[in-house]
Structure 1
Amino acid sequence: MNTVKVRGLSSKGDLSGISFHPPKPSSVVGGFRDFLKNAQEVYSKEQLSLMLSSIEEQGKRLVKTMSLADLKKYKEMVGRLVKYCLELGLELKEERLFSGQGRQKVLTTVRIVDEKLIELTELLLSKNADAFRVLALVDEIRGLLLDLYA
């Protein structure tokens, strides 16, 4: 027979059939953390999709008008999307992808997007702005943004 004392009380009896397993708070916290992370990812993907579609619309408008005001708005929208992607990459992604040279893929893509935006600006500021070249650059930037999004 086992004797158990609990705060001054004693009990005599066979306690072999009784087992106590305390709840694991880490599994509860981990489950909520996973739920919150998944909810953030869904929200982020929806936000990115909305941003990409509005950038695509603005790109079409830019190709039609080829105005500096539309270019400015397009560049601001692309900048917001890139900034948002970088914030997501730092906060949500736990794994990091590296290129063959040891550089992160996100930073390389951001640098190329930046270069293409500068090229687009120079093209629109030049006197020989070709609509097909503007369309090609807008399409190339869209592709880079989709790569960043994925």
Structure 2
Amino acid sequence: MGRSRGNRSSGKTGKSRNSQRSTRPRRSGESFKSHLQEVEKKQVREQLDQLLEAVDEQGRKLRESMEKEDMIAYKRKVKEYLRFVQQEISRARKSHSWDKQGNLKTYTIIEKINSRLEELHREFFAEQSDSLEIVDKLDEIRGLMLDLYI
């Protein structure tokens, strides 16, 4: 009776549990890496969504008020969005598309957004600023930001 613990007749071939586990198909390293990349991509997309929504909200405030404080806050939100995009680009270290001069397209778009943001800033603070021109600049900047998003 003392040996009954060691002599279980379960119909198994005498393999231990550990050896049975090793014969199961495992998820490959590439599959796991791919899964991690997808999760990370989703998190980045969610963060971009939140930042873009914050820019949109501040843009709506600026359109309604045309106040200096709202202009400064809008500019800050756009810069925050751009900073995040640049961090992701440098972290990922990959390029998806290049322009005709061989520059990374994303950096070119970021430069355009910065340029339009400065134009918006100058127009906003110019004495003869036209609210329609400001609204046009807001729309142009948002369009460029969406180009980065895509």
Indicate whether the TM-score tops 0.5: yes
Which amino acid in structure 1 is aligned with residue 62 of structure 2?
Answer: L
Q: CA deviation at 1:68?
A: 1.5
Aligned to 1:97: 97
* Structure 1 residue 54: Cα displacement: 1.6
- Cα distance, 1:93 vs structure 2: 6.1
Take 1:94 and 1:102, find their aligned partners in 2: how far apart are those partners? Answer: 14
The TM-score, its normalising length taken from structure 2, stands at: 0.77
Task: Name the counterpart of 2:144.
Answer: 144
What whole-Å deviation, never above 9, does each CA across 1:11-55 have from its counterpart, x for those lacking one? Answer: xxxxxxxxxxx99xxx63322221111101001111111211121
Q: Name the amino acid aligned to 2:42.
A: V
Determine the C-alpha separation between the residues in 1 that align with 2:32 and 2:80: 30
1:133 Cα deviation from its structure 2 partner = 0.7
Task: Output the CA distance in 2 between the equivalents of 1:57 and 1:41.
Answer: 24
Q: Counterpart in 1 of 2:110? A: 110
Rounded Cα–Cα distance in structure 2 between residues aligned with 1:83 and 1:56: 17
Gaps of 5+ in 2: 1-21
Question: Paired residue for 1:88?
Answer: 88
Q: Write 1 or 2 for the structure with the bigger share of strand.
A: 1
Q: Show CA shifts across 1:92-135 (max 9, x none).
A: 36343111111110111111101111111111111112111111
What whole-Å deviation, never above 9, does each CA across 1:48-67 have from its counterpart, x for those lacking one? Answer: 11211121111111111111
Residue equivalent to 1:53: 53
Q: Are the counterparts in 1 of residues 98 and 104 from structure 2 also a CA contact under 8 Å?
A: yes
Residue in structure 2 matched with residue 29 of structure 1 by the alignment: 29
1:32 counterpart letter in structure 2:
F
Structure 2 distance, partners of 1:94, 1:33, is 16
Could you list the runs of 5+ residues in structure 1 that have no partner in the other structure? 1-21
What is the rounded CA distance, in whole Å, between the counterparts of 2:99 and 2:139 in structure 1?
24
Structure with the greater relative contact order (CA < 8 A, sep ≥ 6): 1 or 2?
Answer: 1
Paired amino acid for 2:55: I
Q: Contact conserved, 2:95 with 2:104, CA < 8 A, in 1?
A: no
CA offsets, 1:56-93, max 9 Å, x none? 11111111111121111111111111111112222236
CA distance in 1, matches of 2:45, 2:94: 16
